[in-house]
């Protein structure tokens, strides 16, 4: 049977057809269990549900004339029904008994909603449904300025934002699905919009932002708040006070990562480690005073000792060749940690499976070895967050797989995705073919090129220097699969449409890069770009607020005007 995540223990039995169930619930059954059971097709096979009163997520399913679900707690019963839903999707069961339990206590997903794309409540609820289906139990949304903070007045209206009412609605929906909705807020570095504003630029560690590039590049660095100014901590406390009440979680993620500029501006000559620790201690103590357990990113391991033992460190690493050193170091220091891999969807229109699968696998392995509390899979939005949610679901589901069952054989994962998400035999192969084109194609390359022409100054080098022959090869690989995508019918038609659009968009990006390098044109005309922009924009607005879509369109058109021939 094809399941995500794969179950831990399965005892083979006689094959039985299974297309639906009728549930028998215990007295005073948790309504969330009843609600989930309503998503299971009805049928004559009786399912008896029983569960204890502990917090365990373990469960056992016994198959016979009727199906018995025995769970240690209500969460286990919830996940047992999710397994039954997937078994019914297979259409049969060949097990006598399933015993299942997770490897990681926390199995989370982290979505950037700050750098361009702000999903609608409907989109996030659909994501929550999928996360629950794959047995995830935590969700965080990365926020800098996309909330109506009073300090960001005049800014959030321009960039788009999520409202307190929307966050509370999502918090309640997460509760229905046994998902902890954890607030995540930049509180030290990555305060670009705030520290660019006239009202608060005096609090920036750096007096001048010397890099005159596109704001998608500037937003990534050089906007750390001055920890020596007493006004800074009061401002951060105000942001926390406005944001925290939207969530019921006992956790609060203060972020505090990538404070690149400490000691390089207003605090020149001071010890960056001391500056960092003293400011973070103030934030941590304030979060604790509100009755919350602090989380923070773990890229500052050398500064953690004075911060206390209750902090959860989010230990990130996104390389397919990620090393375990940081994870082992935190474990040696006896600190609580989550390992945080990524779906590798940033700066491309489609996720990069060739990077995410080995990255997630290694991080899960390292985390299990040291007894990490959780695995938090990340989806960042660098340079405009151009990837649709459907085009990064392979890595999302794979993270759920490895968080529940780190040792699972991944050989059948493509087939499970085809059945349980794409609804088409071969859907995962389409994603992998689009992914192959990213060996030579990054949106980052084109944003750098746009910056060079617009600002006439040296910018950071692109991640790769593609060879013309490789670009041409990737272009025609996509040329081959796009007609197939257009001609197929998937159960998840939204995923098929999204992948068709990102395949075409990636092909156009390749064409522009090829023209930049060679001065020659591949087989794309400007009207193709115009039509694609309309379809991409419609897809974007179907699942997201406007956010920074107009900026993406402006940059894409400017590049097309330079590199794509007119009809």
The per-residue pLDDT for range 150-163, each reduced to its tens digit, is: 999 999 999 899 99
Which of the four pLDDT bands, split at 50, 70 and 90, describes residue 465?
Answer: low
Answer positive or negative: Cα dihedral of 455, 461, 464, 468.
positive
Residue 280's contacts (CB-CB under 8 Å, 6 or more residues apart) are 188, 254, 256, 296, 303, 307
Q: Tell me the two tokens of residue 393.
A: 């679901």
Backbone angles phi, psi at 455, to 5 degrees: -105, -10
Tell which residue, 435, 363, 443, 347, has the closest CA to residue 394: 435
CA distances from 505 to 50, 265, 365, 475, 509 (A): 50, 41, 35, 11, 6
What percentage of the chain carries pLDDT values higher than 90? Answer: 83
- Burial grade of 283 (CB within 10 A; 0-12, 13-18, 19 or more): buried
Contact (CB, 8 A) for 128 and 174: yes
Which of the four pLDDT bands, split at 50, 70 and 90, describes residue 457?
Answer: very low
- pLDDT reported for residue 466: 64
Residue 319: pLDDT above 90?
A: yes
Q: Which fold has domain 106-410?
A: TIM Barrel (3.20.20)
- In angstroms, the CA 168 to CA 522 distance is 49
Secondary-structure breakdown of the chain: helix, strand, coil percentages, each rounded to the nearest 5: 50, 15, 35
Which of the four pLDDT bands, split at 50, 70 and 90, describes residue 305?
Answer: low
- In angstroms, the CA 313 to CA 331 distance is 11
Average pLDDT value for residue range 492-517: 95
Q: Check residues 228 and 221 and name the one with the higher pLDDT.
A: 228
Q: Tell me the two tokens of residue 237.
A: 């406390």
Backbone angles phi, psi at 475, to 5 degrees: -55, -50
Which of the four pLDDT bands, split at 50, 70 and 90, describes residue 228?
Answer: very high
Average pLDDT value for residue range 242-259: 97
Residue 276: pLDDT above 80?
A: yes
- In angstroms, the CA 457 to CA 455 distance is 5
For residue 302, the cross-strand partners are none
Backbone angles phi, psi at 514, to 5 degrees: -60, -45
Residue written as token pair 């240690």: 72
Q: Tell me the two tokens of residue 387.
A: 């990837």
- pLDDT reported for residue 207: 80
Answer positive or negative: Cα dihedral of 32, 38, 41, 45.
positive
Reported in sequence order, the residue ranges of 31-87 that DSSP labels E, i.e. its strands, are: 45-51, 59-62, 67-71
Residue 458: pLDDT above 50?
A: no
- pLDDT reported for residue 132: 98
Residue 387: pLDDT above 50?
A: yes
Backbone angles phi, psi at 136, to 5 degrees: -80, 155
Give the chain's end-to-end CA distance (angstroms, integer).
Answer: 51
Residue 218: pLDDT above 70?
A: yes
Strand 374-379 to 336-340 pairing: parallel
Average pLDDT value for residue range 46-71: 96
Contact (CB, 8 A) for 159 and 146: yes
Q: Tell me the two tokens of residue 564.
A: 């794509």
Side by side, the strands of the sheet bearing 92-100 are 9-17, 92-100, 59-62, 67-71, 45-51, 21-24
Q: In terms of pTM, does the model score above 0.85?
A: yes
Average pLDDT value for residue range 531-545: 97
Q: Reduced to 3 states, what is the DSSP secondary structure of residue 343?
A: coil
Mean pLDDT (the chain, rounded): 93
**Which residues belong to CATH 3.30.379.10 in the chain?**
9-100
Average pLDDT value for residue range 56-74: 97
**Which residues belong to CATH 3.20.20.80 in the chain?**
106-410
Average pLDDT value for residue range 463-477: 80
∠ Cα 432 490 126 (to 5°): 85
Go through the chain and tell me how many residues it has.
Answer: 567
- pLDDT reported for residue 333: 87
Least confident of 177-191, 217-231, 495-509: 217-231
- In angstroms, the CA 545 to CA 526 distance is 27
Write the pLDDT tens digit of every residue in 480-490.
999 999 999 99
Backbone angles phi, psi at 119, to 5 degrees: -65, 150
Residue 520's contacts (CB-CB under 8 Å, 6 or more residues apart) are 514
Three-class DSSP labels, 129-179: HHHHHCCCCEEEEEECCCCCCHHHCCCHHHHCCCCHHHHHHHHHHHHHCCC
Tell which residue, 422, 411, 417, 424, has the closest CA to residue 397: 417
Region label for 383, one of left (φ > 0), alpha (ψ between -120 and 50) or beta (otherwise) = left
Q: Indicate the CATH number of 9-100 among 3.30.379.10, 3.40.190.10, 3.30.565.10, 3.90.1150.10.
A: 3.30.379.10
- pLDDT reported for residue 459: 40
Contact (CB, 8 A) for 481 and 237: no
- In angstroms, the CA 263 to CA 90 distance is 58
Write the pLDDT tens digit of every residue in 333-359.
899 999 999 999 999 999 999 999 999
Residue 537: pLDDT above 70?
A: yes
Q: Tell me the two tokens of residue 94.
A: 């060949």
Tell which residue, 567, 440, 433, 455, has the closest CA to residue 516: 440
Residue written as token pair 């039509």: 531
Least confident of 8-17, 349-358, 452-461: 452-461
Contact (CB, 8 A) for 28 and 110: no
Q: Tell me the two tokens of residue 15.
A: 């094959």
Q: Check residues 437 and 173 and name the one with the higher pLDDT.
A: 173
């Amino acid at each position: 049977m094809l399941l995500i995540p794969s179950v831990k223990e399965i005892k083979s039995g006689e094959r039985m057809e299974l297309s639906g169930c009728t549930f028998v619930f215990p007295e005073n059954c948790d309504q969330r269990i009843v609600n989930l059971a309503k998503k299971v097709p009805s049928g004559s096979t009786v399912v008896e549900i029983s569960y204890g009163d502990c917090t365990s997520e373990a469960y056992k399913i016994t198959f016979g004339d009727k199906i018995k679900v025995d769970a240690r707690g209500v969460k286990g019963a919830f996940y047992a029904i999710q397994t039954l839903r997937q078994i019914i999707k297979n259409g049969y069961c060949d097990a006598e008994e399933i015993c299942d339990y997770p490897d990681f206590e926390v199995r989370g997903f982290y979505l950037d909603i700050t750098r361009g794309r702000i999903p609608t409540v409907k989109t996030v609820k659909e994501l929550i449904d999928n996360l629950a289906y794959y047995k995830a139990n935590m969700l965080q949304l990365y926020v800098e300025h996309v909330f109506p903070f009073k300090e960001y007045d005049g800014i959030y209206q321009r960039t788009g934002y999520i409202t307190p009412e929307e966050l509370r609605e999502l918090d309640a929906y997460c509760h229905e699905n046994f998902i902890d909705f954890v607030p995540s807020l930049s509180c030290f570095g990555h305060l670009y919009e705030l520290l660019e504003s006239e009202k608060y630029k005096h609090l920036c560690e750096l007096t001048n932002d010397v890099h005159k590039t596109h704001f998608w590049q500037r937003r990534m660095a050089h906007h750390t708040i001055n920890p020596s100014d007493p006004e800074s901590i009061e401002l951060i406390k105000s942001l926390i006070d406005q944001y925290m009440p939207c969530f019921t979680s006992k956790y609060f993620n203060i972020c505090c990562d990538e404070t690149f500029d400490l000691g390089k501006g207003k605090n020149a000559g001071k010890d960056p480690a001391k500056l960092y620790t003293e400011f973070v201690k103030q934030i941590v103590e304030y979060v604790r005073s509100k009755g919350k357990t602090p989380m923070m990113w773990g890229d500052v391991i050398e500064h953690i000792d004075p911060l206390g033992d209750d902090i959860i460190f989010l230990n990130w690493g996104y390389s397919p060749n990620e090393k375990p050193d940081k994870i082992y170091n935190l474990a040696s220091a006896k600190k609580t940690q989550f390992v945080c891999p990524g779906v590798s969807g940033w700066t491309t229109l489609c996720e990069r499976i060739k990077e995410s699968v080995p990255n997630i696998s290694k991080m899960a392995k390292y985390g299990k070895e040291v007894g990490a509390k959780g695995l938090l899979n990340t989806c960042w939005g660098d340079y405009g967050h151009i990837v649709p949610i459907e085009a990064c679901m392979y890595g999302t589901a794979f993270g759920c797989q490895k968080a529940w069952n780190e040792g699972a054989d991944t050989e059948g994962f493509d087939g499970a995705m085809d059945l349980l998400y794409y609804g088409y035999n071969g859907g995962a192969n389409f994603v992998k073919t689009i992914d192959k084109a990213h060996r030579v194609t990054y949106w980052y390359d084109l944003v750098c090129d746009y910056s060079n022409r617009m600002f006439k100054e040296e910018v950071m080098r692109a991640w790769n220097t593609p060879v013309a022959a490789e670009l041409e090869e990737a272009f025609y690989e996509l040329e081959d699969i796009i007609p197939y995508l257009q001609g197929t019918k998937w159960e998840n038609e939204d995923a098929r449409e999204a992948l068709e659009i990102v395949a075409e968009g990636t092909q156009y990006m390749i064409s522009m890069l090829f023209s930049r390098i060679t001065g020659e044109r591949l087989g794309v005309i400007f009207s193709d770009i115009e039509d694609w922009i309309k379809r991409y924009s419609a897809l974007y607005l179907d699942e997201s607020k406007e956010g920074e879509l107009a900026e993406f369109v402006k940059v894409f058109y400017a590049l097309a005007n330079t590199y794509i021939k007119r009809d």
